């Protein structure tokens, strides 16, 4: 599959690590205020990355159009992030610094991210907290009135800012309100219930998009000087995941088919603390915030044939396996490690619950030390949510939790400017691969989405626009490229609805999700991945011949909406397996069974795999291009949390 030996370069600015971003900003081209209104920008997705970028660009004076599939920009899935957002403010005076945060993030990602990008993320983190507070985000405060922090996995300082268990919601409302302000001022046109179905490229440059109105079925063209994809992650490919039902990979996949390279698509974070699957009816696995691991202790019974209820199992017959295996970090071990450790215990037969597919998350000790009221204050809404969904009171008995697909570290490849390999096409937030390497640390995703949208794109996108030639500045939805792209989408939706086969879209999606979770989930092997690729190919063929979509494409059609997404998932799944298959090492969330240490930890191979796997689309399989990772400031070490 790897046939090309060309390399990608990321346009990292010159200078020492801590001056690179400043140097970039100093030299970036500008567009004068009077000229900005003659440029149009399309933003696809209105989560934290999309809303913050759209609001910022509109404030600068550009004409912005936003597109989201939800019925309001406020509903994008950033809303569901619970625990918090990291920033190197060092308010706790516990040894934090920009460098420390940079190092934690790079190490958390198992040294598979660019130093310069990660440093910039840490550098911009403090400003984001200032910004959010100015917008009215009600972060938790100490009684003195100063901002409070808590700890998250993979770090030994308290740098996480939070708004109860609804930090994502509050940050998104801040960005959404900034966006609505610009809609009111006429600088942003907001298209809700619209889904991007194609990217229009002319002479190798992004010129616009084709969208379908999900309420009416109307297919329309939209032209712009630049297109920004902020369409989020594609973890819903596993069917059962922590993501919203509508989350999808179609925008990035269709851009990929038009020339944008993807990077490390198989790096999926499987989150350790989710509600376990309880039956076949299930449509999603709800996340319980990682913040619970600050006070909850994770354990399974030490005896294989344990039948007693959790409260009746004495301390010495419990296996607090994270504390046992990783004493330095204990229950706050990073997500990839915590998930794999849970899987190891569950696979060995120690799982709890009716399907023996869960582990306990126990607050007994926290409640006896701090009292119920204190625990309620910190996590009340999470305990309420747990009770609503499971009917169980977690103050009285331990929660049952299990790993579930959560975050896509992979996505569209972007350079330091967040530009994809197609000029004029940018990717921000979870839609890009970038700062998280092979494993994202908790509370860094809200941060990355906001930093991309509020702080980076407002410099790099104008830099691109200012360099456009007079010829490139003329935009129009007429012309053969738009014509052809629109026609292809019309044909695609017609063809799908005319198949009238015998199986539902969800049926295919469930089969694909199970397949991917088994072969390209928490652990992977070359034989399994080869088997998965063959199975995905035949599933794709069955889908194209046998999917059943009632109704027609020229009006609201929920099944068609799902079908276009699943059609893309089938292609993405194949590329994920190809990606996992060619990386003959274990790193972060990518755990290849053939490459592990004697104690079952991931065995990284820096000599051969210190690169980003970038993929070029091909009808008969993808072609890999490398971006070498160079470490000038940090020496990659074995990632130990013991």
Partner 1 sequence: MNFLLKIWRQPSPDSKGRLVSYSVTDISPDTSFLEMLDTLNESLVLKGEEPIAFDHDCREGICGQCGFMINGRAHGPLTHTTTCTLHMRSFQDKETIIVEPFRAAAFPVKKDLRVDRSALDKIIMAGGYISVRTGQAPEANSIPISSEAVEGAFDAAACIGCGACVASCKNASAALFTAAKISHLAQLPQGQIEHKKRTRKLVETADQLGFGACSNTGACEVECPQQISIGHIALMNQEYWKS
Residues assigned a catalytic role = 335
Measured between alpha carbons, how far is 637 from 641 in angstroms, rounded to an integer?
12
Question: With respect to partner 1, which residue has the nearer C-beta, 283 or 598?
Answer: 283
For the segment 581-620, give every residue that binds partner 1 (CB under 8 A): none
Ramachandran quadrant class, 232 (left: phi over 0; alpha: psi -120 to 50; beta: rest) = left
Site string for partner 1, 308-337 (x = CB under 8 A): ------------------------------
Shortest distance, CB of residue 288 to partner 1, whole angstroms?
10
For the segment 442-471, give every residue that binds partner 1 (CB under 8 A): 454-455, 458
Structure tokens at 405: 């697909």
> Exactly one of 139, 609, 617, 641 binds partner 1 (CB under 8 A); which one?
139
Angle between the 48-60 and 167-184 helix axes, to the nearest 10 degrees? 30
Shortest distance, CB of residue 77 to partner 1, whole angstroms?
6
> Exactly one of 140, 499, 603, 634 binds partner 1 (CB under 8 A); which one?
140
Shortest distance, CB of residue 149 to partner 1, whole angstroms?
11
Question: With respect to partner 1, which residue has the nearer C-beta, 276 or 423?
Answer: 276
Tell me whether strands 262-263 and 611-616 are parallel, antiparallel or unpaired.
Answer: antiparallel
Measured between alpha carbons, how far is 43 from 228 in angstroms, rounded to an integer?
5
> Exactly one of 40, 56, 269, 564 binds partner 1 (CB under 8 A); which one?
56
Question: With respect to partner 1, which residue has the nearer C-beta, 65 or 613?
Answer: 65
Between CA 538 and CA 597, with CA 2 as vertex, the angle to 5 degrees is 90
> Exactly one of 136, 204, 467, 600 binds partner 1 (CB under 8 A); which one?
136
Measured between alpha carbons, how far is 65 from 222 in angstroms, rounded to an integer?
9
For the segment 71-100, give every residue that binds partner 1 (CB under 8 A): 71-77, 79-80, 89, 91
> Exactly one of 94, 317, 483, 558 binds partner 1 (CB under 8 A); which one?
558
Residue 490, classified by CB atoms within 10 Å of its CB into exposed (0-12), middle (13-18) or buried (19+), is: middle
Rg (CA), the chain: 24
Site string for partner 1, 218-247 (x = CB under 8 A): --------------------------xxx-
Contact flag: residue 426 with partner 1 (CB under 8 A): no
Question: With respect to partner 1, which residue has the nearer C-beta, 58 or 300?
Answer: 58
Backbone angles phi and psi of 387, in degrees to 5: -70, -40
Sequential DSSP letters for 305-319: T--S-GGGS-GGGEE
Shortest distance, CB of residue 502 to partner 1, whole angstroms?
8
Question: With respect to partner 1, which residue has the nearer C-beta, 190 or 586?
Answer: 190
Q: What share of the chain is helix, strand, coil (3-state, %, to 5)?
A: 45, 15, 40
For the segment 114-133, give every residue that binds partner 1 (CB under 8 A): 127, 129-133
Shortest distance, CB of residue 453 to partner 1, whole angstroms?
8
Site string for partner 1, 474-513 (x = CB under 8 A): --------------------------x-x-x-xx------
Measured between alpha carbons, how far is 453 from 450 in angstroms, rounded to an integer?
5
For the segment 245-274, give every residue that binds partner 1 (CB under 8 A): 245-246
Shortest distance, CB of residue 148 to partner 1, whole angstroms?
8
Residue pair 388/420 in contact (Cβ under 8 Å)? The answer is no
Question: With respect to partner 1, which residue has the nearer C-beta, 142 or 317?
Answer: 142
Residue 195 pairs in a beta bridge with 212
Contact flag: residue 391 with partner 1 (CB under 8 A): yes
Contact flag: residue 545 with partner 1 (CB under 8 A): no
Question: With respect to partner 1, which residue has the nearer C-beta, 183 or 466?
Answer: 183
Shortest distance, CB of residue 435 to partner 1, whole angstroms?
19
Measured between alpha carbons, how far is 410 from 517 in angstroms, rounded to an integer?
16
With a CB cutoff of 8 Å and minimum separation 6, the contacts of 119 are 17, 18, 20, 21, 98, 102
Between CA 637 and CA 313, with CA 339 as vertex, the angle to 5 degrees is 125
Backbone angles phi and psi of 175, in degrees to 5: -70, -40
Ramachandran quadrant class, 45 (left: phi over 0; alpha: psi -120 to 50; beta: rest) = left
For the segment 397-416, give every residue that binds partner 1 (CB under 8 A): none
Residue pair 18/123 in contact (Cβ under 8 Å)? The answer is yes
Question: With respect to partner 1, which residue has the nearer C-beta, 75 or 271?
Answer: 75
Site string for partner 1, 151-180 (x = CB under 8 A): ------------xx-x--xx--x--xxx-x
> Exactly one of 181, 202, 257, 376 binds partner 1 (CB under 8 A); which one?
181
For the segment 340-359, give every residue that binds partner 1 (CB under 8 A): none
Residue pair 350/301 in contact (Cβ under 8 Å)? The answer is yes
> Exactly one of 344, 542, 554, 559 binds partner 1 (CB under 8 A); which one?
559
CA distances from 541 to 17, 516, 517, 533, 570 (A): 49, 17, 20, 12, 10
Question: With respect to partner 1, which residue has the nearer C-beta, 204 or 501?
Answer: 501
For the segment 273-302, give every residue that binds partner 1 (CB under 8 A): 278-279, 281-284, 286-287
């Amino acid at each position: 599959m790897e046939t090309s030996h060309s390399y990608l370069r990321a346009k990292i600015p010159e200078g020492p690590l801590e001056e690179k971003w400043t140097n970039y900003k100093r030299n970036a081209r500008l567009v004068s205020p009077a000229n900005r209104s003659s440029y149009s920008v399309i933003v696809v997705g209105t989560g934290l990355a999309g809303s913050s970028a759209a609001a910022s660009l509109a404030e600068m004076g550009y004409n912005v159009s936003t597109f989201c599939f939800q019925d309001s920009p406020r509903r994008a899935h950033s809303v569901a992030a619970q625990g918090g957002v990291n920033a190197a403010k060092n308010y706790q005076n516990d040894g934090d610094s920009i460098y420390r945060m940079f190092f934690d993030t790079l190490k958390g990602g198992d040294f598979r991210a660019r130093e310069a990008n990660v440093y910039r993320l840490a550098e911009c983190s403090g400003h984001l907290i200032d910004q959010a507070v100015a917008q009215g985000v009600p972060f938790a405060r100490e009684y003195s009135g100063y901002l409070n922090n808590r700890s998250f996995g993979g770090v030994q300082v308290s740098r996480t800012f939070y708004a109860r268990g609804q930090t994502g919601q509050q940050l998104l409302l801040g960005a959404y309100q900034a966006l609505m302000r610009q809609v009111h001022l006429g600088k942003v046109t907001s298209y809700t219930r619209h889904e991007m179905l194609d990217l229009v490229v002319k002479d190798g440059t992004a010129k616009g998009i084709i969208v379908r109105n999900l309420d009416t079925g109307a297919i329309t063209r939209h032209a712009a000087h630049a297109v920004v994809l902020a369409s989020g992650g594609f973890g819903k490919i596993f069917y059962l995941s922590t993501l919203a039902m509508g989350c999808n990979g179609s925008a990035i996949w269709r851009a990929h088919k038009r020339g944008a390279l993807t990077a490390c698509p198989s790096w999926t974070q499987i989150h350790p603390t989710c509600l376990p699957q309880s039956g076949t009816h299930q449509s999603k696995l709800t996340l319980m915030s990682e913040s619970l691991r600050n006070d909850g202790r994770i354990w399974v019974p030490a005896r294989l044939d344990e039948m007693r209820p959790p409260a009746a199992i004495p301390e010495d017959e419990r296996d607090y396996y994270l504390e046992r295996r990783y004493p330095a970090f204990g229950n706050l071990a990073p997500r990839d490690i915590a998930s794999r450790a849970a899987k190891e215990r569950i696979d060995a037969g120690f799982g709890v619950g009716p399907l023996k597919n869960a582990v306990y998350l126990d607050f007994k000790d926290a409640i006896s030390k701090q009292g119920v009221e204190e625990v309620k204050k910190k996590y009340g809404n999470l305990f309420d949510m747990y009770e609503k969904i499971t009917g169980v009171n977690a103050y009285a008995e331990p929660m049952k939790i299990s790993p579930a697909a959560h975050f896509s570290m992979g996505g569209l490849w972007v350079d330091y400017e967040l530009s994809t390999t197609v000029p004029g096409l940018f990717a921000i937030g979870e839609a890009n691969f970038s700062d998280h390497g092979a494993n994202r640390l908790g509370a860094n995703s809200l941060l990355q989405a906001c930093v991309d949208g509020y702080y980076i794109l407002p410099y790099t996108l104008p830099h691109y626009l200012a360099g456009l030639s007079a010829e490139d500045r003329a935009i129009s939805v007429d012309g053969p490229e738009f014509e052809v792209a629109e026609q292809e989408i019309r044909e695609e939706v017609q063809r799908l609805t005319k198949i009238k086969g015998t199986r539902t879209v969800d049926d295919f999606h469930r089969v694909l999700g199970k397949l991917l979770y088994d072969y390209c989930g928490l652990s992977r092997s070359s034989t399994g991945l080869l088997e998965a690729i063959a199975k995905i190919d035949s599933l794709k063929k069955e889908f194209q011949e046998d999917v059943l979509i009632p109704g027609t494409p020229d009006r609201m059609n929920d099944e068609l909406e799902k079908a276009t997404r699943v059609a893309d998932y089938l292609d993405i799944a194949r590329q994920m397996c190809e990606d996992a298959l060619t990386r003959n090492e274990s790193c972060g969330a990518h755990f290849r069974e053939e490459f592990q240490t004697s104690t079952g930890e991931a065995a990284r191979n820096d000599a051969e795999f210190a690169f980003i796997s970038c993929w070029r689309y091909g009808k008969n399989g993808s072609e890999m291009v490398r971006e070498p990772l160079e470490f000038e400031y940090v020496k990659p070490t074995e990632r130990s949390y013991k």
